[in-house]
A and B are shown apart, each in its own frame.
Chain A
């Protein structure tokens, strides 16, 4: 999708994604580099979801690609991924308490908005528990 300033016959440039509107629908603001006119694209919920389903970001990617990022972001329920190091550390916990530790670490990670469980997250949980 491209935006053209008809008066200037000039391609408009992406500025920002605007304010997120209720319902989390997509918005994008474009500006004509010649006359400065701004125009906003306001997508309906279907269009929003279609763009998100394609796994692309309006305005370009803000961060490098993460493994399985689309699924981890868009699934209603998904496990947090653990790094191999964190998983190895969990294996050192006695087996009978391991599920409980896994749950509490994941709960903490979700509360902190972490995208994965790392050794640092485990350290935080341990220090919170005064260990």
Chain B
């Protein structure tokens, strides 16, 4: 009796061909993107999306062409943070046109596909009660669609803002033809750093290039006396050593950052003199320099 490998084709569906065509579309789209960077965190609530939005705008302010894929499909917030919530994705000749945020930052997000702000991401399914069997597959396919079908055009940087958790990185790694770097966002609490370590370990196992860590909420400026205070116990140096990756930037806590996110005006643009805004600009310079350094490597 013939074995699986002795039979050519699959009888007419050409599933392998369909998958290959999809991968080819994705490769073609990514071909016009110089650097695709994944932004990850170990857990939620560390400010990853706020960092992504501000980094994107900061890179654009430095003259780069920037796109953001909001890969947090179930909790998309990038449209709000970049001030384009309520806008729609449009069908153009070359795919779906992304929304245009501040300084020309392009955005694709599930938020722009849902009919209203209270609409959850819910999939039609003949077995909705057993979503564990297929949920990961459809989310990965949806991410692939956003990447391949959005008319990004020429970009210097595409930032992929992943949902919290190391498993998201593995999913992205499975569909992206290449990921040029990874930025891990954490806060200086031991709990947060414990969880981000898992993402870093996974990144190493996947041979992903770690650009470094962004330490969010590192300090805060006392509004009364002007003193710089720590928000978390001062074990940061030790924790950095544990993480074993360079710290790209330390972003001080600033209540204005949350307000700016709510208002859809990135802080790096609205309050350029604030220490947090300056830290975002330094982060963008670091990211630009590290990506350029890689280009120069033989």
Given contacts A68-B96, A79-B88, A84-B91, contact A14 B12 (CB under 8 A): yes
Evaluate contact between B90 and A81: CB separation under 8 angstroms.
yes
In the bound complex, do residue B141 and residue A54 qualify as a contact, i.e. CB atoms below 8 Å apart? yes
Measured in the bound complex, the distance between the Cα atoms of B25 and A55 in whole Å is 14
Q: Which size class do A's interface residues fall under?
A: 35 or more
A4-B2, A6-B1 known; A60-B89 Cβ under 8 A: no
Chain A neighbourhood of B156, CB < 8 A: none
Give the residues in chain B near A55, CB-CB below 8 Å.
18, 22, 141, 144-145
- Report the separation of the CA atoms of residues A13 and B112 in the bound assembly, to the nearest whole angstrom: 42
Residue contact A67 to B96, C-beta cutoff 8 Å: yes
**Given A49-B133, A70-B138, A76-B124, A61-B91 contact (CB < 8 Å):** no
Alpha-carbon gap, A74 to B138, bound state (A): 9
Tell yes or no: B10 within 8 A of A by CB: yes
Instruction: Determine if A129 is an interface residue (Cβ-Cβ < 8 Å).
Output: no
Chain A residue numbers with a CB within 8 Å of B96 are: 67-68, 81
1/0 contact trace for A61-95 toward B, CB 8 Å? 10001011111111111110111100100000000
Q: Which residue in B15, B89, B122, B135 is a CB contact (below 8 Å) of A77?
A: B122
Binds A, one of B50-58, B113-121, B238-246, B267-275: B113-121
List residues of chain A with CB within 8 A of the CB of B170: none
Q: Kindly state the separation between the CA atoms of A63 and B33 in the bound complex, as whole angstroms.
A: 28
Q: Which of B4, B14, B113 contacts A79 (CB 8 A)?
A: B113
Bound form: Cα–Cα A52–B133 in Å: 12
B282 within 8 A of A: no
Interface residues in B102-131 by Cβ distance below 8 A to A read 110, 112-115, 119, 121-127, 130
Query: Complex: how many Å from CA A80 to CA B145?
Result: 16
- 8 A Cβ contacts from B123-154 to A: 123-127, 130, 133-135, 137-138, 141-142, 144-146, 149
The B interface, classified by DSSP as helix, strand, loop or mixed, is mixed
Q: How far, in angstroms, from A99 to B84 measured CA to CA in the complex?
A: 17
A81 — which chain B residues lie within 8 A by C-beta?
88-91, 96
| Given A49-B125, A77-B119, A9-B134 contact (CB < 8 Å) | no
Contact of A87 among B9, B15, B90, B125 (CB under 8 A): B90
Interface size on B, residues (CB 8 A): 50
Known: A53-B134, A57-B13. A9 touches B91 (CB 8 A): no
Interface of chain A residues 3 through 54 with chain B (CB within 8 A): 3-4, 6, 9, 11-14, 23-25, 30, 44-46, 48-50, 52-54
Most chain-A Cβ atoms within 10 A of its Cβ — which of B22, B91, B115, B138?
B91
With A and B bound together, what is the CA distance between A101 and B119 in angstroms?
21
Q: Assess the A84–B92 pair: CB atoms within 8 A.
A: yes
Q: Contacts A67-B96, A83-B90, A87-B90: A61 and B134 contacting too (C-beta < 8 A)?
A: no
Instruction: Give, as a whole number of angstroms, the nearest-CB distance from B22 to chain A.
Output: 7
Asked if A112 is at the interface (CB within 8 A of a chain B CB), the reply is no
Is B124 within 8 A of A11, CB to CB? no
Chain A interface residues (CB < 8 Å from chain B): 1-4, 6, 9, 11-14, 23-25, 30, 44-46, 48-50, 52-61, 65, 67-79, 81-84, 87, 116
Task: List 20 other contacts, CB 8 Å, given A54-B137, A83-B92.
Answer: A11-B11, A13-B12, A14-B11, A14-B13, A45-B130, A50-B134, A50-B137, A53-B123, A53-B134, A55-B144, A56-B18, A58-B15, A60-B14, A67-B96, A69-B145, A70-B138, A71-B110, A77-B119, A78-B113, A78-B115
Which of B's residues lie within 8 Å of A, judged by CB? 1-2, 4, 7-15, 18-19, 21-22, 25, 88-92, 95-97, 110, 112-115, 119, 121-127, 130, 133-135, 137-138, 141-142, 144-146, 149
Q: List 10 A-B pairs, minimum CB-CB distance, nearest first.
A: A14-B12, A45-B127, A53-B138, A53-B137, A67-B149, A45-B126, A76-B122, A49-B134, A11-B7, A46-B133
